[in-house]
């Protein structure tokens, strides 16, 4: 029983973290058809921005609860900045190219941003454990969980709700869905597709940065974290179906739970399980679990 | 023998002879570049059919581990035996998962092939008998009992790399000019029409996949022999990404593109790393963007512009 609860909780916590990253990735793919490798860098930039801003804030002797707003602010600001710079400055001139070429374009951006991060923040690790420990721990069936992690589940759930609400219950969301289904027709009908692209990319970048800054208190922030994360996020969105937010949620849960099951039962299979599940899903549902239907080319 | 074949073989002989006088670091760099060139040449075959694999690291790593493990298990240091083993094992694995992968296209093919390479990475990183994330050392290669002592150690791997690239290159060149090779181009343009013409698309792609996997295994085996050390990083997605990078950089218009691309890549990386250790990735990234923007057919298109030869 204890084991089951630990497994479930760990799985859900991990899944909620994965979902925040994967949501941005899948949103950008759905609208722009770009599988954005640089998303890993957005995550890393968010983590660095969050960790350094909280460090400066706490060193100033301000009330510690404000650190959470610092994390949020750092994510929104850094995500928006990097997102606008990259979309307007670079991706704009690359539109219309093959999907696979776009992967390489974003791969190049990933390489560039990895070094930009090193130039800005150096190569030493950053630690900001205060926001993590401040919330204390809760005992569930005799197992202690960090409240910060439990809060992460709620944050992730609210992001999921906001995305659903934004896409299905607002005017702009419905316009965006029109763009997702048929970009050309949407443009004919007078939707400003270019602006939709910019806004989507910035929101996606912010989500990536948010995942990073929320993770920062729990890990040591150092070079290379983005490269590890992006491949996980790929697994999640491919399992769920590229471009589907609901799919990202399902994918995150599947990956999160199967990983935590592996960690608790057979730790050696930790990485193997994630990509094993990905391969299994792809083998039976090539387009992922929640696929968007596409026309066949003749 | 055709004029062009003679030209290629004399070029390879010149490269082999140059190996005797080259400084050690250059020999090593060229060996690794040529080995990678082999992997990318396989990738070129797939890309000609419009399939981009983000998982060639699977066979690159598997080939290297075949050399390492096979050398211990069969207690042999014979380079040819080990390379043959690597190619056979990679071919066999490709024959199995190729059946599944060849049904996929575009981004799904890319992601699925990446998933397989990450599975191998996930297995190797946790297998302590193979040194986990540190990998392990490979014994220096021999050639039928000939023990190259001291200085000539790296030369054996270099020679193997030159010979392998030449042989595979000539094979790939002829393959691309065969009906099977042209069918690949047609598949990229329109699969359904190819089926109407009575050609099995699945077979065309399957054969290409097998060839690409064997070439990647060969490249990995030579890398293991040359570097003397192997680790799971060879199956990580960044390695596979590097191969696609090189393919784009060199250009897929000609079988020499990948070789030129990988030599250039290694040179840029080595120099960029020496000049500025913190920004070498940035330099590579900018180079990649510049090539996508200004040289979409790769560096080889420059060579073609000069020689005015028709592309194959």
pTM of the model: 0.89
Q: Alpha-carbon distance B74 to B82, whole Å?
A: 9
In sequence order, the β-bridge partners of residue A140 are A143
Answer yes or no: do A231 and B108 touch at CB < 8 A: no
**Residue A63: how many other CB atoms lie within 10 Å:** 8
pLDDT at site B64? 93
Q: Judge contact between B213 and B59, C-beta under 8 A.
A: yes
Considering only CB atoms, which chain A residues are within 8 Å of B189?
none
ipTM score assigned to the predicted complex: 0.86
Q: Alpha-carbon distance A274 to A259, whole Å?
A: 6
What are B174-218's pLDDT values in tens digits? 999 998 889 888 998 888 898 998 888 999 999 999 999 999 999
Q: Alpha-carbon distance B25 to A277, whole Å?
A: 43
Find the CB nearest A115 among B52, B279, B292. Answer: B279
* Min distance B254 CA to chain A CA atoms (Å): 19
Answer yes or no: do B114 and A93 touch at CB < 8 A: no
pLDDT at site B108? 84
Q: Which of A68-77, A121-130, A194-203 has the lowest mean pLDDT?
A: A121-130
Interval B151-161 mean pLDDT: 76
What DSSP character marks residue B137?
E
**Is B273's Cβ below 8 Å from some Cβ in A?**
no
Q: Alpha-carbon distance A123 to A109, whole Å?
A: 19
Question: Which of the two residues, B306 and B84, has the higher pLDDT score?
Answer: B84
To the nearest 10 degrees (0 to 180), the angle between helices B79-101 and B201-227 is: 150
Find the CB nearest B292 among A105, A287, A298. Answer: A105
What are A152-184's pLDDT values in tens digits? 899 999 999 999 999 888 898 888 888 888 888
Interface test with A, best of B107, B244, B268, B280 (most A CBs within 10 A): B107
Q: Which residue of A has its CA nearest to B98?
A: A283
What are B91-116's pLDDT values in tens digits? 999 999 999 888 888 888 888 899 99
Q: Which of B273, B272, B270, B213 is nearest to B243 (CA)?
A: B213
Q: Which of A58, A26, A60 is nearest to A208 (CA)?
A: A26
pLDDT at site A84? 92
Strands A143-146, A137-140: pairing kind = antiparallel
Find the CB nearest A271 among B125, B280, B288. Answer: B125
Q: Judge contact between B64 and B135, C-beta under 8 A.
A: no
What are B54-87's pLDDT values in tens digits? 999 999 999 999 998 888 888 777 888 889 999 9
**3-state secondary structure labels for all residues of chain A:** CHHHHHHHHHHHHHHHHHHHHHHHHHHHHHHHCCCCCCHHHHHHHHHHHHHHHHHHHHHCCCCCCHHHHHHHHHHHHHHHHHHHHHHHHCHHHHCCCCHHHHHHHHHHHHHHHHHHHHHHHCCCCECCCHHHHHCCEEEECCEEEEHHHHHHHHHHHHHHHHHHHHHHHCHHHHHHHHHHHCHHHHHHCCCCHHHHHHHHHHHHHHHHHHHHHHHHHHCCECCCHHHHHHHHHHHHHHHHCCCCHHHHHHHHHHHHHHHHHHHHHCHHHHHHHHHHHHHHHHHHCCCCCCCCCCCCCC
The tokens of B68 are what? Answer: 């390492």
Is residue A65 classed exposed, middle or buried when 0-12, 13-18 and 19+ CB atoms within 10 A define those classes? exposed
**Is B111's Cβ below 8 Å from some Cβ in A?**
yes
């Amino acid at each position: 029983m204890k084991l089951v609860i630990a497994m479930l909780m760990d799985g859900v916590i991990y899944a909620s973290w994965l979902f925040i990253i994967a949501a941005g990735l899948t949103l950008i793919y759905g609208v722009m058809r770009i599988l954005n490798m640089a998303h890993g860098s957005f995550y890393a930039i968010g983590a660095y921005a969050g960790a350094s801003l909280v460090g400066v804030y706490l060193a100033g002797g301000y009330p510690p609860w404000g650190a959470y707003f610092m994390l949020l602010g750092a994510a929104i600001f850094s995500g928006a900045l990097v997102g606008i710079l990259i979309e307007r400055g670079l991706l704009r001139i690359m539109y219309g190219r093959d999907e696979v070429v776009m992967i390489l374009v974003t791969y190049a951006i990933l390489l560039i941003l990895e070094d930009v991060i090193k130039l800005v923040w150096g190569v030493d690790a950053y630690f900001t454990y205060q926001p993590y420990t401040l919330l204390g721990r809760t005992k569930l069936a005799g197992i202690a969980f960090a409240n910060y992690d439990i809060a992460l589940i709620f944050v992730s759930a609210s992001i999921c709700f906001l995305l659903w609400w934004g896409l299905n219950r607002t005017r702009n969301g419905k316009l965006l869905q029109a763009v997702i289904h048929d970009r050309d027709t949407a443009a004919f009908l007078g939707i400003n597709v270019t602006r939709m692209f910019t806004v989507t990319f910035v929101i996606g970048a912010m989500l990536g940065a948010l995942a990073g800054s929320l993770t920062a208190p729990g890990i040591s922030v150092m070079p290379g974290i983005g490269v590890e994360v992006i491949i996980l996020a790929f697994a999640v969105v491919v399992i769920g179906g590229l471009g589907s937010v609901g799919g990202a949620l399902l994918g995150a849960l599947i990956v999160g739970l199967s990983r935590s099951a592996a960690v608790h039962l057979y730790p050696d299979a930790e990485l193997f399980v994630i990509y094993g599940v990905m391969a299994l899903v792809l083998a039976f549902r090539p387009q992922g679990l929640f696929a968007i239907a596409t026309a066949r080319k003749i | 023998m055709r004029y062009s074949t003679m030209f290629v073989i004399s070029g390879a002989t010149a490269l082999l002879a140059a190996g005797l006088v080259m400084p050690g670091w250059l020999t090593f760099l060229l060996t690794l570049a040529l080995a990678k060139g082999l992997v990318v040449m396989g990738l070129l075959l797939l890309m000609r059919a419009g399939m981009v694999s983000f998982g060639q690291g699977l066979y690159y790593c598997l080939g290297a581990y075949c050399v390492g493990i096979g050398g211990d298990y069969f207690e042999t240091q014979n380079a040819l035996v080990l390379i043959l083993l690597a190619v056979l094992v990679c071919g066999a694995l490709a024959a199995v998962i190729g059946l599944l992968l060849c049904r996929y296209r575009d981004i799904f093919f890319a992601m699925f092939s990446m998933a397989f390479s990450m599975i191998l990475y996930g297995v190797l990183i946790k297998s302590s008998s193979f040194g986990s994330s540190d990998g392990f050392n490979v014994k220096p290669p021999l050639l039928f009992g000939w023990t190259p002592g001291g200085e000539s150690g790296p030369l054996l791997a270099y020679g193997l790399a030159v010979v392998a690239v030449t042989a595979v290159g000539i094979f790939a060149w002829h393959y691309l000019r065969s009906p099977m090779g042209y069918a690949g181009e047609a598949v990229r343009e329109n699969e359904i029409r190819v089926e109407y013409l009575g050609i099995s698309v699945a077979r065309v792609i399957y054969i290409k996949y097998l060839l690409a996997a064997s070439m990647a295994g060969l490249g990995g085996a030579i890398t293991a022999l040359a570097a003397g050390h192997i680790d799971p990083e060879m199956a990580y997605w960044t390695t596979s990404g590097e191969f696609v990078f090189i393919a784009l950089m060199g250009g897929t218009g000609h079988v020499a593109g990948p070789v030129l691309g990988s030599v250039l890549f290694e040179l840029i990386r080595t120099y960029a790393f020496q000049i500025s250790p913190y920004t070498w990735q940035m330099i590579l990234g900018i180079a990649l963007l510049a090539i996508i923007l200004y040289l979409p057919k790769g560096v080889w298109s420059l060579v073609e512009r000069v020689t005015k030869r028709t592309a194959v």
